[in-house]
Structure 1
Amino acid sequence: MRRDVFQAIADPTRREIINMLSHNELNLNAVADNFTISRPAISKHVKILTECGLVIMTRRGRERYCRANLAKLKEVNEWTNRYKEFWNEKLDALGDFLENEK
């Protein structure tokens, strides 16, 4: 299944994993230690993040380390900026309308 960044960030656990990994590279056990859900569930979340490119996995010996690839969030930023501009224009127009009604 092809996953995209929007699917990945839809889940609050995955957003928290991205946040953690944006500060430090961690192995899977260290990531899982920060959550009350099972390690297999964390592995599934990390797999989804890896499939869409938000997390990069590297192997060192027997350990797998995760680091965030925040450049992939550029797609989200560009998409939200379009709507930010749209709403700013609408709210400015509403403000102008209300000022003229006074």
Structure 2
Amino acid sequence: MLTINNSVDNHSGMALPSLHVVKHGVSAAEAEQEALSGVFFALSDPVRREILTRLDGRDLLVSEIAAPFDISLQAISRHIQVLVRAGLIAQERTGRISRCRLDAGPIYTAAVWLNRYSRYWQAQFDLLAASLHEIEERRGRRGAPRDGRRTSKLGRSAKRRTLRKPKAEK
């Protein structure tokens, strides 16, 4: 069996990070589903995923985050706000300066949720592995000579002709 992500597969009772405070009149399960939807929505945009990649392991100012993008600072700020609402970025403000930091907790929660469905694709990986093994066995029975070496389509006699040493000129 192939394990996709061992740390997510074996979280064995580990408490998952709480993303949001439960709203009045909303169950904890509904709040968790809403938070998960927010994470997937935030991750659905390639610009926001690139922002998260840039923040991996370091804190950056909004202007530093925006530098490599060909979109306005206002557009980057909107993307950052989506990430903040999803809990993926923590933002600290000092006057007009805003520093952003990655918070990977919600990504872990999403990974755990996705991993519940790994048994479905796991079966496909197992089927693929079995099919590849069967193909290799069939190839081995058909084309391999007894000594284990493969022959080309030319055959052995053609190889002998091409491997002869040229006659020395007088």
Instruction: Give the number of aligned pairs.
Output: 99
| Residue equivalent to 1:62 | 96
Larger radius of gyration between Structure 1 and Structure 2: 2
Amino acid in the other structure paired with 2:51: I
What is the CA RMSD across the aligned residues, in angstroms? 2.1
Q: How does 1:1-102 map to 2 (within 5 A)?
A: 4-93=38-127, 96=130, 99=134
The answer to whether the 8 Å contact 1:22/1:70 transfers is: no
Cα distance in 1 between the residues matched to 2:99 and 2:131? 55
Structure with the bigger percentage of strand: 1
Partner of 2:32: none
User: Which structure has the highest helix share of the two?
Assistant: 1
Shift of 1:94: 6.2
TM-score, normalization: structure 2? Answer: 0.52
Letter in 1 for 2:101: R
**Take 2:83 and 2:40, find their aligned partners in 1: how far apart are those partners?**
10
Letter in 1 for 2:67: D
Larger RCO (CA under 8 A, 6+ residues apart): 1
Q: Which TM-score applies when normalising by structure 1?
A: 0.82
Amino acid at match of 1:58: E
SS at 2:56 equivalent: helix
Distance 2:130 2:75 in 1: 51
Unaligned runs of 5+ in 2: 1-34, 139-170
Runs (4+) of structure 1 moved beyond 6 Å? none
| Structure 1 spans left out of the alignment, 5+ residues | none
DSSP 3-state at the match of 1:36: coil
